[in-house]
Chains A and B, each alone.
Chain A
Amino acid sequence: MRTTVLSYLEESAEKYPQKTAFFDEKNGITFSELKDQAVRLAWHIKEEISGRRNPVLIYLPKDISSIVAFMGTLYSGNFYTPTDIRFPAEKVISVMDALKPTTVLVNNQTKEKFLKFAADRNVTLINIDEVDPKEHPESKELIDAILDVDPVYVFFTSGSTGVPKGVIINNHNVIDYIDWAVSALPISDKTIMGSQSPFYFDISTQDIYATLKTGATLGIIPPKYFAFPARAMQFIKERHINFLYWVPSAFVNVANFDILSSIALDEVELIMFGGEVMPVKQLNYWKRHLPNLKTIANVYGPTEATVNCTYYIVDRAFNDNETLPLGKACENTGLLVLDDDGNCIDPSQIGVQGELCVYGSSLSAGYWDDTEKTDEKYVINPLCKHYREKMYLTGDLVYYNERGELVFAGRKDFQIKHSGYRIELGEIEAAAMGNQAITNVCASYDSEKKQIVLFYQGDVSEEAIRDYLLDVIPKYMVPTVYHQLQRFPYNDNGKIDRKKLKEDYILKD
């Protein structure tokens, strides 16, 4: 019986002990080495902290050390939340305030940096470089103690009040997703994936656990290479990477610089994207330039339903101005499209929009330390009348096309997708309002130009606001366009008229 994602690692360590499981710019690690290092770390963690299901914050670079830390944390009966060492200190602290980790894993490289802003925190700091090498550490006892409802990770997405929301993902959620992924996608022990996604973003769930399950290999492309796409492409070519699951903006960037005309990627057989809408123009560029491309997959899903809940394997040609459909439900995932009155829209009602709702084993247990938000988003399935079944409201609007495929129509509220990140405009507003000089603020999104726009009132320069925001929120959330207004337009409810602002400033040019 499979109760933990660690059984993937146990099985692959048995079947492919000497095969490289993960590599980064400098190092590689085999399945058996990974298991040994992770189990040693687990015993070390257990010596330092007591109990199970403790939240463990991972403060490590995006390389093999993070993978060892994730697995070690799971073997110890606890769960992980990765963060980015490039985040401003305030962002890491806000995650710590929300998560209240008992333990933080660092290494020689990151320890000092962490202590600079968090020395006063009441956490057990474990330097994974100081773990005592033990002979043949035992893992059975550790594995046997794990239930499939134990969390694997908590990932934070930005919340509307400025407080991040932690989504709790359990072992059975990941197992359910990975079972689908390895059956629907051509992943085998010959696959070499190229990881682009940060580890705190759930594309990495597939990257890591599909690798462990199938005995594939995951190449961690150094994050800095994505600023210089030619470097990333060279890395892919030299390391024989043949499977790319990235956010669309990473693909778009390579296409816009026309890198593939000069660096041919002969070995890439699959490209897959999700997290935001993939523009067909750049997809067609990739199609033209990959001679051995066999599969293109467009995937969609909220973190709350574990990575993805719909998929579309591209089976026809699209013109540059068309959009790709979301496709259909992943196996063992239930989807409903509900209109404003809670009525179910069926595929015969072509073009009728409704909110996409998800139920099934992929559904997470809810939000960390936030029952109110959990109850708001995880409701009772209205079509299940005789017992309680949980259903998640995605807040995404969709409709069926004439082929019966689901098509994405937009966000129901003000949450936006920008560069693959999910951002609540409210969080940006909350951060900007923290500046004393700002009296009124409204964040908006120019989906055409892909720019976050900030409207504000107050005697302060654009530069000063930027400087201020860069210290409190990650750069990908910092607006790029600013409009200083004498007064804001309001609607009848006395709320800022966002629609009017958008019409007057964003849509007009």
Chain B
Amino acid sequence: MEEIYKILKDLRPEFDFTESEDFVEDGFLDSFDIISLVSTIEEKFNVKIDGLDVVPENFCSADAIIALIRKSGGTI
């Protein structure tokens, strides 16, 4: 969990992700951020994220991102 928040903080330092209920609805992540985030996750957790899994539900919270990493075969 901490690891995910760290990645997010590096991406958009101006936001407090721990306070957000929904990163997407709160406008914390735009198209450029999603691209960077996916490539960071792929590199860090050695997984390949399916493009079809790049949907708001999988990026709305740290829990959702962790679930996505596990679903894609990564360990966290």
Contact = CB atoms under 8 A, between A and B. Distances in A.
B35 interface: yes
Nearest to B53: A230
Contact of B14 (A227, A257, A467): A467
Contact of A230 (B24, B27, B33, B54): B54
B29 A227 contact: yes
A54 B4 CA distance: 51
Contacts of A253: 31, 35
A121 interface: no
Nearest to B56: A228
Interface in A91-137: none
Interface in B6-45: 13-14, 24, 27, 29-35, 38
Interface in A473-509: 475-476
Contacts of B31: 226-227, 253
Interface in A403-422: 419
A259 B51 contact: yes
A228 B55 contact: yes
Interface residues of A, number: 24
A467 B50 CA distance: 32
Contacts of B56: 228, 231
Contacts of B30: 227, 475
B13 A231 contact: no
B1 interface: no
A148 interface: no
A257 B32 contact: no
B52 interface: yes
Nearest to B14: A467
A257 B51 contact: yes
Contacts of A475: 30, 32
B55 A230 contact: yes
A365 interface: no
Contacts of A463: 13-14
A476 to B, nearest CB: 8
A230 B59 CA distance: 14
Contact of A258 (B24, B51, B55): B51
A50 interface: no
Interface in A233-268: 253, 256-259, 261-263
A229 B50 CA distance: 12
Given A467-B13, A467-B14, A231 B52 contact: no
A379 interface: no
B54 A470 contact: no
A466 interface: yes
Contact of A229 (B13, B14, B51): B51
Contacts of B35: 253, 256
Interface centre among B29, B51, B55, by most chain A C-beta atoms within 10 angstroms, is B51
Contacts of B27: 86
A151 B27 CA distance: 35
A262 B54 CA distance: 13
B13 to A, nearest CB: 4
Contacts of A258: 51
Contact of A259 (B29, B32, B34, B52): B52
A109 to B, nearest CB: 15
Contacts of B55: 228, 230-231
9 contacts: A227-B33, A256-B35, A257-B38, A263-B52, A463-B13, A467-B13, A470-B14, A475-B32, A476-B32
